[in-house]
Amino acid sequence: MPATTITFQFKDGQPAQTHVAAAGESVLDVALNNAIQLQHNCGGVCGCSTCHVYVDRGGDDLPEISDKEEDFIDRAENPRITSRLACQCVVNAGMELVITIPPQHFLGH
């Protein structure tokens, strides 16, 4: 089976990072497993909007957005048409995602 890769880009100027993901992992899981700082106040259960990301490529391969996720994205800072919650972006084999992590300036608040 082809590997799934996720390239993380950062709005704060950090260099991009590409990591391999296992089928069934969320984008949030992959970020945290690779020491990428991505806030997740609710623990990754679609209970807040702090793990908000932009899916720049591969979004059509992700599970369809739920009404609950969409409601939380509406509360996120600077939502876009490509906005998703990283905890809800569960990957399958053979995907190639490019994810931009918005500034996490609200950390600690």
pLDDT digit string, tens, across residues 60-106 = 999 999 999 999 999 999 999 999 999 999 999 999 999 999 987 65
pTM of the model: 0.92
Query: What CATH fold (topology level) applies to the domain 4-101?
Result: Ubiquitin-like (UB roll) (3.10.20)
All residues at 6 or more sequence positions from 39 whose CB lies less than 8 Å from its CB, including other chains? 50, 51, 104, 106, 107
Q: What is the pLDDT of residues 34-54, one digit of tens each?
A: 999 999 999 999 999 999 999
| Between 50 and 108, residue with greater pLDDT | 50
Give the per-residue pLDDT at 11.
86
pLDDT single digits (tens) 11-31:
888 999 999 999 999 999 999
Q: Where are the beta strands (DSSP E) in the chain?
A: 4-10, 17-21, 52-57, 83-85, 96-101
What is the domain partition of the chain in residue ranges?
4-101
**pLDDT for position 106:** 57
